[in-house]
Amino acid sequence: MLRYKYKKYVGGCFEIAGVKKIREIIKRIEDYILENRDGLPILKECCLKNGWDYGELLELAEEHIGVKKAVEKLQNQKEVNLEKGGITGKLSKPMSAYLLERLERERAEKSMYQALEVLDGILKMDEEAAALTADAGGFGDIVQEKVHNETD
């Protein structure tokens, strides 16, 4: 079985660690969600309570699907609580609407940045392919030779 190494939190930064530490981070996020089931779970507050750097946790979430799912679960719980709070009157409707809108904007921005990263990767692959074909004399020459040979 392959043992993947990921970053872990140690004294203000994430360092290389095993799967066991990743599970601990996921458990702490899930415990925080349960503690704030009736309130508004906030990822930055979760980070502060655990002594984690917010930006580094987000980077870790990009590298590890389990951490990513735990963060998404926290944000989904927050969205549900915002909707319920607005409907039941626990939160003012304008504040609830504002926070929901902000949450959606953050998700849209994240999706846009992910799409841009994919496009950037595709462009780099295209540039590499163009350089390789230029070095090999181009694909056009190969195709023309084959067609020419078949017609002779």
The total of structural domains in the chain comes to 1
145 lies in a domain? yes
18 lies in a domain? yes
Distance CA 29, CA 106 (A): 20
56 lies in a domain? yes
1 lies in a domain? no
60 lies in a domain? yes
Angle between helix 43-50 and 54-63 (nearest 10): 110
Per-residue pLDDT at 129? 76
142 lies in a domain? yes
Tokens of residue 7, six digits: 């970053």
Average pLDDT over residues 36-45: 89
Range(s) of the domain holding residue 73 = 6-151
Q: Give the tens place of pLDDT for each residue, 121-146.
A: 788 887 777 777 766 655 555 545 55
Q: Give the tens place of pLDDT for each residue, 69-123.
A: 999 999 999 888 888 888 888 878 787 787 888 878 877 777 777 777 777 778 8
Rounded to 5 degrees, what are φ and ψ at 106? -60, -40
3-class secondary-structure state, position 78 = helix
DSSP assignment, residue 89?
A: T
